[in-house]
Amino acid sequence: MKKRNFSTDLLEAADGPIIEDTQPPAELYGSTPSLASDNLLKTTIDGQECHLPFEVLEEIPAVVPHLNDSGISRMPFRCPVGGCTHSCSLLLFSMHISYDHTNVLLENLWPSETNTVLVDPNLSEDFPRLPQCHKLYLVSGKIRGFGEGKHRDKLPFALMSAKFTLHGTQRMILWITGPDAGVDRRQRYTMEAGRNDRKRLLPYAVAFSGEIVPLHNSQDGEEIHRSGAGLVIPEQQIASLVDRRTKLLEVCIHFH
């Protein structure tokens, strides 16, 4: 009996009808190229359009709950502005800020919009631990059956900041405080601060994304830092971002 070589048999089989008769699955015929790249985030770098590895997801319209079904607490709370001892109700909070804290900016906003505000990091130098309120956002599209007049169906969310010391270094923390709908339905947001060179791919230096701090919770900056609910910027980085106090700190907010 003639002895066969395994490698020779394999080569002969590769040239034989076994390979030639193999057909690709029928569902591959007539297929079109994937359009997945059309859903990728696009940007322009050095004059050329590029796709980034981030997919753009379409927002699914959500059912806007009525206040009675939202779980939002209506218990009174202390005004979060440092040094203010006024007891507020959620219904009158926006009015209190606009009348008693006239230096605070008010802005109407939808969840799909972003808003930029300039913050002075040295505003609280005399009382650095006291929380400062920089802007009050009246966010639409989140609730029904709340408020009256121009504030109807607009939930108030305040942009806050304070300073604290950690390991011998002073740090600034920024956060958003607002109505609490419970842990499972607490409002989320993204905050970016400190614009870099506008030619760079990522325009902001630091960012935070997470849940708001409920109005009923402590507004102490150090406590908020320990809970991981704010954007922390070390003193040295602040000095760089504001170009040694010649500029204000640019903060961009986006509610989800």
Q: What is the pLDDT of residue 156?
A: 96
Q: What's at 45, amino acid-wise?
A: I
The pLDDT, as a whole number, for residue 70 is: 84
What are 213-251's pLDDT values in tens digits? Answer: 999 999 999 999 999 999 999 988 888 888 777 788 999
> Does pLDDT of 39 surpass 80?
no
Measured CA to CA, the distance from residue 195 to residue 72 in angstroms comes to: 34
Who has greater pLDDT, 21 or 153? 153
Q: Name residue 143's amino acid.
A: I
| The two three-digit tokens of residue 53, written as one number | 């590895």
Print burial letters for 80-118: b (CB count within 10 Å at least 16), e (below 16). Answer: bbbebeeebebeebbebbeeeeeebbeeebebeeebebe
> Worst-scoring range by mean pLDDT, 13-22, 81-90, 133-142, 172-181?
13-22
Say which residue, 127 or 23, is predicted with more confidence: 127
Element (H, E) at 233: strand 231-234
Query: What is the domain partition of the chain in residue ranges?
Result: 78-255
Fold of 78-255: 2.60.210
Q: What pLDDT is attached to residue 242? A: 83
User: d(Cα 190, Cα 178) in Å, to the nearest integer?
Assistant: 14
pLDDT of residue 177: 97
Inform me whether the pLDDT recorded for 24 exceeds 90: no
Instruction: Answer with the residue of higher pLDDT: 28 or 241.
Output: 241
pLDDT (mean) for 151-166: 92
DSSP structural state of residue 39: G
151 or 254: which leads in pLDDT: 254
Residue 160: which of 72, 76, 229, 62 has the closest Cα?
A: 229
| 161 Cβ neighbours under 8 A, 6+ residues apart | 119, 121, 123, 124, 131, 132, 134, 172, 173, 174, 175, 221
Give the 3-state secondary structure of residue 6. Answer: helix
Q: Is the pTM of this model over 0.95?
A: no
The number of angstroms, rounded, from the C-alpha of 33 to the middle of its chain's C-alpha atoms is: 34
Contact partners, residue 45, CB within 8 Å, separation at least 6: 201
